[in-house]
Amino acid sequence: MNPQHSLIAWQAVCGIAACVAAAPASAQQAYPDKPIRIVVGYPPGGSSDFSARILAQRLSTALGQSIVVDNRGGAAGNIGTDIVAKAPADGYTFLFTTVSLSINETLYTKLPFDLKRDFVPVIFLAELPNAMVVPASSPVKTVAEFIALAKAKPGQINFGSGGTGSSVHAMGELFKLMAGVDMVHIPYKGNAQALNDVIGGQVDMILSALPPALPLAKAGKVRILGIAMPERLRSLPEIPTVAEQGLPGYEMSTWYGVFAPAGTPPEVTERIGTELRRGTADPKVRDLILAQGIEPLSDTPAEFRAFVNAELAKWAKVVKAAGIKGD
């Protein structure tokens, strides 16, 4: 994920957080009575760091307490994740994470933590659709045409990603498996670089997050073949889904969520989740989010857990089938 992608996404979350800040003072109780730490498993300056700092700023206002963002980058987010897994379950340490968390569980064979055992879900913040993007000069106009071209030229069509083992890489591998095509993976140091080479025609396709790809498509620099969601977006009904174009069941998204160490008091996780969830009910906030192609979410922790469990199973099959190694 790139900073531009995250900036757009969290402009929407800022709107949510503005509603959080408006929570009445009477709702504040003894908790929290000291600073809260949000651990981000990525270095400062990146998209996840930027997003978490926006969240921290607004939650600080809502809760009347300092919130510290603790960057613990390394091992594709695993170092920070492990810190939270081993932190006291007292409601003062949280993990801000992304879809990569569900991929890493299989990608790395010697993780010191277990997602199902060591964490409890707090809130599923947002889901950003991924789009199948090709150069504007590409001869294909639909997903079906792209698949036909890839089958006609096995091993000659490529796809880009932000690096080996990244979520976009895994999404490309799943596309290969489901479409039955042989494509070459080209890893970059970030999705922005890969998307830039799609513009230049050096890369044949990328499964990019929608926000950074949409303005490029409107400017005629790339072509969006389809959205990897179960249904067309309410804000962009003119763009068909990948599933309806010959690849049923292909649903990919980039999601943001918050977890706490297992054993964290449920009244604490419920309060944090409720404060954020309240914002999604505001019509103005929802309109802002939808305009960016972002799907606001208000799932319960149990629904978030079920979603993550499904993600774990899905990506485990992809990582094993593609032979991707993260160790």
> Is the residue at 19 inside a domain?
yes
In the structure, what pLDDT confidence band is assigned to residue 137 with cuts at 50, 70 and 90?
very high
Residue 135 shares a structural domain with residue 234: yes
Question: Pick from 216, 245, 274: which residue ends a domain?
Answer: 245
Share of the chain above pLDDT 90, in %: 49
Question: Pick from 245, 274, 300: which residue ends a domain?
Answer: 245
> Is the residue at 327 inside a domain?
no
Interval 140-154 mean pLDDT: 97
Residue 59 shares a structural domain with residue 201: no
Q: Which of 77-91, 163-177, 267-281 has the lowest mean pLDDT?
A: 267-281
Determine the pLDDT at residue 54.
72
Interval 266-288 mean pLDDT: 75
Residue 93 shares a structural domain with residue 135: no
Does residue 2 carry a pLDDT above 60?
A: no
Determine the pLDDT at residue 134.
98
- Domain span at residue 233 reads 130-245
Residue 134 shares a structural domain with residue 238: yes
| Whole-angstrom distance, CA of residue 273 vs CA of residue 262 | 16
> Is the residue at 32 inside a domain?
yes
Does residue 5 carry a pLDDT above 70?
A: no
Residue 235 shares a structural domain with residue 263: no
Does residue 157 carry a pLDDT above 70?
A: yes
Residue 105 shares a structural domain with residue 192: no
Determine the pLDDT at residue 252.
83
- Say if CB 105 and CB 112 are below 8 A apart: no
Interval 155-180 mean pLDDT: 92
Question: Pick from 211, 245, 279: which residue ends a domain?
Answer: 245
Interval 304-322 mean pLDDT: 89
> Tens digit of pLDDT for each residue in 25-60?
444 458 999 999 999 988 787 667 766 777 777 788
The string of DSSP codes covering 255-322 is EEEEEEETT--HHHHHHHHHHHHHHHT-HHHHHHHHHTT-EE----HHHHHHHHHHHHHHHHHHHHHH
Count the domains in the chain: 2
The CATH number given to whatever domain includes residue 215 is 3.40.190.10
Residue 147 shares a structural domain with residue 237: yes
- Rounded to two decimals, the pTM is 0.76
- Say if CB 171 and CB 228 are below 8 A apart: yes
The CATH number given to whatever domain includes residue 17 is 3.40.190.150
As a whole number, the mean pLDDT across the chain is: 85
Share of the chain above pLDDT 70, in %: 83
Residue 161 shares a structural domain with residue 52: no
